[in-house]
């Protein structure tokens, strides 16, 4: 045991542990706002990984060369996303992580072969690397010391401030609030993609929908946009709230407290906690990092491979949610229903094209941020949605409120208007009485439930101005 300990904490392996310290400090720094998690546990995990890889390296390459082998295996792995970002950014290459994955693994194998073959004991290089990682770690400590403490913005939900009397004698309509993540507006599709979406829009109108063609959201991010909508608020504070705070607001908010008061049965078909109901699905490791362990390693090649495998089948999760909504729409309940669904379509990963054909596994990821892949999946999902909406109207005999709305637009356009486009959303309403006088073409997402409250609960309730400023 003592002998083992001596070998694996050997001087020639020291720089691999200093590399571990640097990685730990770097990742802690970029996850600083993610408070409340056990950072020590992650630190221990980082060193365990290095220790295990060192054992394998010593076994294959011998003690003198093991540190280099460990570094060749771990460095490109743990910093995969940073490497991909820098290469694609500075060489102006397309964002094709799967190519980088193959190239990096190829280089790793070559370097490992060189290390294996070389007669050099690499003593000087060991010293250089020790100094290098020490300097990087010190630089990281300097960054910690000089980080400006930003005071956390606190937001208190107004959830108990709506004191309207609810007439439970009359059955309130069921509400299907269906959010299509990142579905931009027909206007934007025309303007930036030169695509005419009027087939889809006209079909919705024919079914009795009101389509707001110049609608926007308050923010460009899923959680802040969702939280502000359920808080009936256009307050800019939503852009500054921490993710943890937004998660709490989405779970318990002004609208859910009103729905509970009105004795709605609430269904949660989203990746969030909502009304204390568990998420209906998880959007994979890479995006939906709930634990600090996932956050720490989210840039690594290992997670990239897991994510890629998950992504190949992700569209099935979305289709299952649509099926669940449909089955809810067929059930009969005494209480009114509120169905909140959040569907990751046309949001990436881009799994299928405009005709519903699946992309091959190697092509799918290539277009993750590409506006062409986005357009293909948008057109394909519009067809699925139209069929789905027809079924819901039929199952509910046209007596339910149906809102089909995006949380934000497409955020990766490759030019100056990318900022603007991120706020543009598809926004359509179906009211059983087809009376849409409270709606306007430029209705902002935060007015959604204000309109419903004014229409069904309290006529004196006010709408907010639809401008984002
Ligand atoms: Zn989103």
Give me ligand 1 centre to Cα 182, in Å: 5
Give me ligand 1 centre to Cα 229, in Å: 13
Q: Does the pLDDT at position 52 exceed 90?
A: yes
**E strand or H helix at 342:** strand 337-343
β-sheet with 210-211: strand ranges across:
210-211, 427-430, 401-405, 175-180, 337-343, 265-269
Give the confidence band of 93 by pLDDT, cuts at 50, 70, 90: low
Q: What is the pLDDT, as a whole number, of residue 75?
A: 94
Averaged pLDDT for residues 422-427: 94
Give me ligand 1 centre to Cα 222, in Å: 4
Give me ligand 1 centre to Cα 178, in Å: 13
Give the confidence band of 322 by pLDDT, cuts at 50, 70, 90: very high
Give me ligand 1 centre to Cα 360, in Å: 25
Integer angstrom CA distances of residue 230 from 31, 39, 223, 226, 255: 27, 33, 11, 6, 5
Give me ligand 1 centre to Cα 32, in Å: 23
Task: List b or e across 119-151, with b for residues whose CB sees 16 or more CB atoms inside 10 angstroms.
Answer: eeebeeebeebbeebbebbeebeeeeeeeeeee
Angle at 16 between CA 13 and CA 22, to 5 degrees: 150
Give me ligand 1 centre to Cα 450, in Å: 21
Give me ligand 1 centre to Cα 35, in Å: 23
Q: What is the pLDDT, as a whole number, of residue 466?
A: 85
Structure tokens at 74: 């771990």
Of 62-66, 108-112, 369-373, give the range with the top mean pLDDT. 108-112
CA gap 275, 267 in Å, rounded? 9
- Please state the pTM of the whole predicted model: 0.82
Instruction: Map out the domains of the chain as residue ranges.
Output: 2-146, 175-456
**E strand or H helix at 131:** helix 123-146
Superfamily of domain 175-456: Alkaline Phosphatase, subunit A (3.40.720.10)
Q: What is the pLDDT, as a whole number, of residue 82?
A: 84
Give me ligand 1 centre to Cα 201, in Å: 21
CA gap 244, 241 in Å, rounded? 8
Mean pLDDT, rounded, of the chain? 87
CA gap 84, 100 in Å, rounded? 7
Closest to 267 (Cα-Cα) out of 319, 327, 314: 327
Burial, 276: exposed, middle or buried (Cβ in 10 Å; 0-12, 13-18, 19+)? exposed
Of 155-164, 246-255, 460-469, give the range with the top mean pLDDT. 246-255
Give me ligand 1 centre to Cα 219, in Å: 10
In the chain the first and final C-alpha atoms are separated, in Å, by 67
Which has the higher per-residue pLDDT, 236 or 91?
236
Of 206-210, 243-247, 372-376, give the range with the top mean pLDDT. 206-210
Collapsed DSSP state (helix, strand, coil) of residue 447: helix
Give me ligand 1 centre to Cα 282, in Å: 14
Q: What is the pLDDT, as a whole number, of residue 85?
A: 76
Give the confidence band of 416 by pLDDT, cuts at 50, 70, 90: low
Give me ligand 1 centre to Cα 272, in Å: 12
**Nearby residues for ligand 1 (ion, Cβ within 5 Å):** 181, 222, 407
Q: What is the pLDDT, as a whole number, of residue 306?
A: 80
Give me ligand 1 centre to Cα 410, in Å: 9
CA gap 28, 226 in Å, rounded? 28
Phi, psi angle pair for 27, to nearest 5°: -70, -35
Give me ligand 1 centre to Cα 228, in Å: 13
Give me ligand 1 centre to Cα 341, in Å: 13
Averaged pLDDT for residues 450-464: 91
| Residue pLDDT, tens place only, 297-314 | 878 888 878 877 888 888
Give me ligand 1 centre to Cα 404, in Å: 14
């Amino acid at each position: 045991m003592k002998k083992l300990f001596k070998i694996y904490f050997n001087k020639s392996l020291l720089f691999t542990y200093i590399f571990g310290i640097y990685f730990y400090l770097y990742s802690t720094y970029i996850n600083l706002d993610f408070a409340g998690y056990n950072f020590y546990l992650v630190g221990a995990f980082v060193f365990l990984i290095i220790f295990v890889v060192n054992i394998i390296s010593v076994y294959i390459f011998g003690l003198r060369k093991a540190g280099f082998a460990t570094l060749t295996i771990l460095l490109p792995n743990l910093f995969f996303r940073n490497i991909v970002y820098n290469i694609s950014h500075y060489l102006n290459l397309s964002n094709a992580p799967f190519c980088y994955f193959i190239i990096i693994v190829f280089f790793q194998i070559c370097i490992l072969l060189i290390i294996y073959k070389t007669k050099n004991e690499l003593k000087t290089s060991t010293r250089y690397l020790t100094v290098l990682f020490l300097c990087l770690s010190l630089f990281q400590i300097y960054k910690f010391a000089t980080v400006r403490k930003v005071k956390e913005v606190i937001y208190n939900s107004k959830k108990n401030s709506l004191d309207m009397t609810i007439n439970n004698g009359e059955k309130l309509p069921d509400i299907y609030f269906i959010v299509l993540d990142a579905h931009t507006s027909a206007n934007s599709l025309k303007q930036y993609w030169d695509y005419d979406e009027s087939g889809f829009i006209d079909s919705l109108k024919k079914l009795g929908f009101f389509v707001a063609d110049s609608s926007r959201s308050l923010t460009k991010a899923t959680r802040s946009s969702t939280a502000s909508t359920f808080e009936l608020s256009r307050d800019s504070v939503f852009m500054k709230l921490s993710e943890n705070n937004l998660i709490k607001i989405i779970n318990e908010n002004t609208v859910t407290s009103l729905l509970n008061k009105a004795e709605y049965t609430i269904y949660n078909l989203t990746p969030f906690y909502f009304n204390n109901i568990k998420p209906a699905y998880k959007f994979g490791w890479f995006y939906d990092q709930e634990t600090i362990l996932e956050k720490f390693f989210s840039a690594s090649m290992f997670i990239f491979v897991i994510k890629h495998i998950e992504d190949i089948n992700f569209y099935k999760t979305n289709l299952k949610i649509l099926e669940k909504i449909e089955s809810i729409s067929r059930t009969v309940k005494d209480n009114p229903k509120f169905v909140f669904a959040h569907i990751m379509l046309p949001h990436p990963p881009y799994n299928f094209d405009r005709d519903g054909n699946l992309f091959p596994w190697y092509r799918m990821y290539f277009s993750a941020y590409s506006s062409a892949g986005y357009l293909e999946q948008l057109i394909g999902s519009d067809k699925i949605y139209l069929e789905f909406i027809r079924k819901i109207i039929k199952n509910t005999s046209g007596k339910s409120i149906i809102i089909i709305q995006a949380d934000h637009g497409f955020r990766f356009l490759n030019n100056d208007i990318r900022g603007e486009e991120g706020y543009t959303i598809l926004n359509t309403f179906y009211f059983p009485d087809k009376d849409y006088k409270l709606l306007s073409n430029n209705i902002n997402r935060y007015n959604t439930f204000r309109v419903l409250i004014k229409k069904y609960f309290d006529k004196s309730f006010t709408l907010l101005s639809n401008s984002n400023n």
